[in-house]
Amino acid sequence: MSTESNWKVSRDAAFYLNVSERQLFRLRKAGILVAGTHFIRKFPTANSSLLYQVDLCQKAIQEASSRNVQTLETAEA
């Protein structure tokens, strides 16, 4: 059993997930990464850094990227 935590700070999570820290922000804003599930604040203050549950984040990103192409296209024909 590994004692290493799966909660990572933004920089480490971005490296592990192979995305930028800015992309993590975009994923949060898009609702792909959900507060309380995929990320939490390190301390209960608004300016506290975020911790990411990298395994759950990876699953959410994979699910978001594997959506049906037809549902992603807009009907502007």
- List the domain range (segments joined by +) for residue 32: 7-63
Q: What percent of the chain has pLDDT over 90?
A: 69
**Structure tokens given for 30:** 């898009």
* 1 pLDDT above the threshold of 60: no
Could you tell me if residue 36 is inside a domain? yes
Could you tell me if residue 69 is inside a domain? no
- The CATH code of the domain that includes 29 is 1.10.1660.60
- Inter-CA distances, 22 with 1, 10, 15, 19, Å: 33, 10, 12, 8
Could you tell me if residue 76 is inside a domain? no
When pLDDT is averaged across residues 52-77 and rounded to a whole number, the result is 79
pLDDT band for position 40 (50/70/90)? very high
Question: Do 37 and 56 touch, CB atoms closer than 8 A?
Answer: yes
Confidence at residue 18, expressed as pLDDT on a 0 to 100 scale? 95
